[in-house]
Structure 1
């Protein structure tokens, strides 16, 4: 199964290295054209608002950020916490020099996928700070969905929180009161709904991109059945988490040849259907960037994205090891002992985004404070015995 793609003047090559024609159309490639269909998106569909998961009036301001950062250390990678003042704004920037950033990848790929209003895509963030987490795009567990859900809600709550500095020594009370009111008004004006668009950004922001060049990979293609099998193994940049994927796709021979020939250039993305605050798996696609214009030194000044159709896998299995000691035998041992899970039939698709699966900063602070108190109680007898 493939999704429709729209023709754009940007010249989508569908993983073909051929050049654009003078009319900015695809080259006549029957294998590719038979798996795609021209489509258009109406202005009404573009202008329709994104479905709301949690309305902004249902979200309380979050006043716990400073307390969490100053009083609580989070060794657990499941904290589901964005950094203070961090933005999820992936707006375009005019600078296209050395353009290999996630921001451009996100906007570029988004413009090429002809998605319905109830569909979202994930390609990850190639420049994500590895100190934030070591979560990978693993669909065999619900950790990734939990992280993104909490990230989105925390972000929306933070925007709703007034930033009020303490009263200054020489500041009049009236001036301070006016400043407080203005900060509260600004926070109300900044408030946003937790909608599907924010969820899509959080899902992308939470994980690294899936680069096949950086993965252990293997493939097999059967031209008679038109089945392409891919074995992928991706590590996070810290080497402490690994996810292994086995994917079986129905791909026509000529397109399969193009995919295999460009395997080291490819990155992989996912498409999901959103309904009733749940995601259902739609399929995978592959893409890579190509320099379309360079300066005299050969540095890129314009990039072009090349993208395949979206494939509904015939089979899709994953297993993972998360949060292990980097580069330790523990990873290999755990992987060998862990069975593959069928992603297409995973209970993950019952996960509901929203407040019912939200782990708040306030609850986290209580959790870690209680944990510390228990650790102190345990350590006190040990200290007494060592003195004796």
Structure 2
């Protein structure tokens, strides 16, 4: 990937992660990153498809191995990042440099390093053991804004899978799912008037501000023993154009994280109660939560992190593309596992530990080898060896 002779798999993963970080995909423009990973996979003999349903925004779907009704493993990650304003950073957000054992730059932890680990692990398995390797990789755009790219993938373009590995930042700990997500637009309408005669109008800010305050101060959200509490955040508030005009429109947007027993319909009922009747609600994003039974993946958890199956399972607060992809992939078991530091996601001066990238690359490769050895029948293995010229 970096062209250096004799580079190890972890070295190649790190080099690819550096190249990905240096591609600006803050809030869009993922096509160059998609082309980069597609080229790497194509060079390794993968069947690669790049789709660009929106200008400059692309998904990658790649496969290696025998055709079959299901594939043992699908790796997935997203190519976009959240914005990063250079003026607030102590280094270039597109740096990609290594300093003090850490990869610097936006997307280092969330989650370009994870994508690089998955690519290198799959490429290594395909090159070293072509007859024993079957894997599908799905890399998306627009995950940070509600899984936009994943939503536009045609289900027919995907092969159902037994295990979906999502390389979001977990510090190389297996995480078995996450909360659901509901983004709401809440709008209040008023009547415009001159700022010197406010009694002639109806200020849209007032009812919405009261609603925002009630939501912010509400503490009685449901909780779940595994996932923790449902949460609600007032993320944006917009109203008015100038001081001498009574605003006739005000809008806020809410980020609600749902849990088992408190789904998006329950959330809307409670938000409606807190807001009152003077506002309108519109769903912008509505993603289900993900839950994998630890008993179904205990052996895989032990491979990823020895001893982890003996502890209570972890579930993330953030959402992932699994909310959309799982149903399209035949409801596989889902494990979130990646080298990024969860506390580094979306922060200023984002970094990722280099050692974690190396470890994650090795573990992804080992997982792929182990699962494929159990899943590919000899007949299929022989067909792949013949097709690739291997003996």
Q: Answer whether TM exceeds 0.5 for this pair.
A: no
Ranked by relative contact order (alpha carbons within 8 Å, sequence separation 6 or more), the top structure is 2
Shorter-chain-normalised TM-score: which range? under 0.3
Higher-strand-fraction structure? 2
TM-score (norm. length: structure 1): 0.24
TM-score by length of 2: 0.24
